[in-house]
Structure 1
Amino acid sequence: EDFAVLEQHGLSTDEIWDIAAISAFFGMSNRIANVTNMLPNDEFYLMGRLSKS
């Protein structure tokens, strides 16, 4: 059923699996980072948080 809806929007089976796998990995990696209290390095954390001037 979920595949049918996405296929109606022009996505192939491979593209649907790619979306699912990337979404699942993103969720898993965030949960692991959260449970281990992992913090990003300072340079990455500050990207987009400081003004360019």
Structure 2
Amino acid sequence: MVLHFIHDDQEKLKLLRAIKDDLKQGAPFVLVSAYGQRDGEELQNRLNI
């Protein structure tokens, strides 16, 4: 739950590449994505579960 705080796509890519470089070969990588209006009640409710 970090990528949604990074607005610049190139910075997101930089972070994902750094994670890839740190993972052992063959290690699983799980990406969880939250969606919706950042300030919307629906998203806030999902994040608070």
Q: Which has the larger radius of gyration?
A: 1
Task: Determine which structure has greater relative contact order: mean sequence separation of CA pairs < 8 Å that are 6+ residues apart, divided by chain length.
Answer: 2
Q: If each structure's helix is expressed as a fraction of its own residues, which one has the higher value?
A: 1
TM-score, length of structure 1 as denominator length: 0.34
